[in-house]
Amino acid sequence: MSTSSRKSTLYVAIALIAFTLIALSAIFLRVYRLPFIIIDILGIRNSITHWVGWIGAIWMALYTPIYSIAKRRKPELTSRLLRVHVIGNLIAVMFVSIHFAQQVTRPANNYPNLGTGIVLYVAMIILVSSGFVVYFGYGKRWLKVIRQLHPAVALTFYLTIIMHIIHGI
């Protein structure tokens, strides 16, 4: 991948992370919250907050294995697939983060059980951090360890998301 392409991806990644942090700050400071509106999609009724979280989680859960398989079958597309993986997952993380922030700032009389959600969110943040380090080449000293950590945490993410969904049902 060219240096300019990697640099432009870095700028987009930083912008997405900054926007996510601003959105989270607005939710935690109660400046903004998604409205509580129930939406029915294919017979599944849930709030906007949950749909936003589901969209993010579904993207990560589906595109990551697609990326992994496609890069082996079509190596010439690896750099393009990787950029979609990085940017798409950062957008998905923003959606899941908004869902998470909305959940943890609910009033005490309506507070959720956060057991699997906390583990899932921590796994996702470790995935994003380790992926960022690997993709942009920071922490070269720890690169070997991080390359092993990233797929291991991805497995934790997948197992926990299944449990989180079962717990929510």
Model pLDDT for residues 101-152, shown as the tens digit of each residue: 988 887 777 677 777 888 888 999 999 988 888 888 776 777 778 888 888 8
* Whether the predicted pLDDT of 37 surpasses 80: no
Higher pLDDT, 25 or 135: 25
pLDDT of 48 strictly over 90: no
Angstrom distance (rounded) from CA 110 to CA 119: 20
**Distance (Å, rounded) from C-alpha 160 to C-alpha 157?**
5
pLDDT (mean) for 84-91: 94
Residue with tokens 């797929």: 151
Per-residue confidence at 90, pLDDT binned at 50, 70, 90?
very high
Res 1 pLDDT > 70: no
Amino acid at position 101, single letter: A
Using a pLDDT cut of 90, give the percent of the chain over it.
Answer: 31
**Confidence (pLDDT) at 142:** 78
Measure the CA–CA gap between 3 and 9, rounded to whole angstroms. Answer: 10
Residue 11 confidence (pLDDT) above 80: yes
DSSP H helical ranges for 29-142: 48-73, 78-104, 115-136
- DSSP, collapsed to helix, strand or coil, labels residue 88 as helix
Residue 64 has pLDDT above 60, yes or no: yes
Could you tell me the pTM of the whole model? 0.86
For 37, 40, 156, the CA distances from 49, given in Å and listed in that order, are 9, 13, 23
Long-range contacts of 100-105 (CB under 8 A, 24+ apart): 100/53, 101/23, 101/24, 101/27, 101/28, 102/27, 102/33, 102/34, 102/49, 103/49, 105/27, 105/28, 105/30, 105/33
- Measured between alpha carbons, how far is 84 from 60 in angstroms, rounded to an integer? 11
**Spatial separation of the C-alpha atoms in residues 164 and 169, rounded to whole Å:** 9
Radius of gyration of the chain, Cα coordinates, nearest whole angstrom:
17
d(CA 165, CA 46): 13
Flag the least confident range among 5-9, 64-68, 71-75.
Answer: 5-9
Across the chain, what does the average pLDDT equal? 86
What band does 42 get if pLDDT is binned at 50, 70 and 90? confident
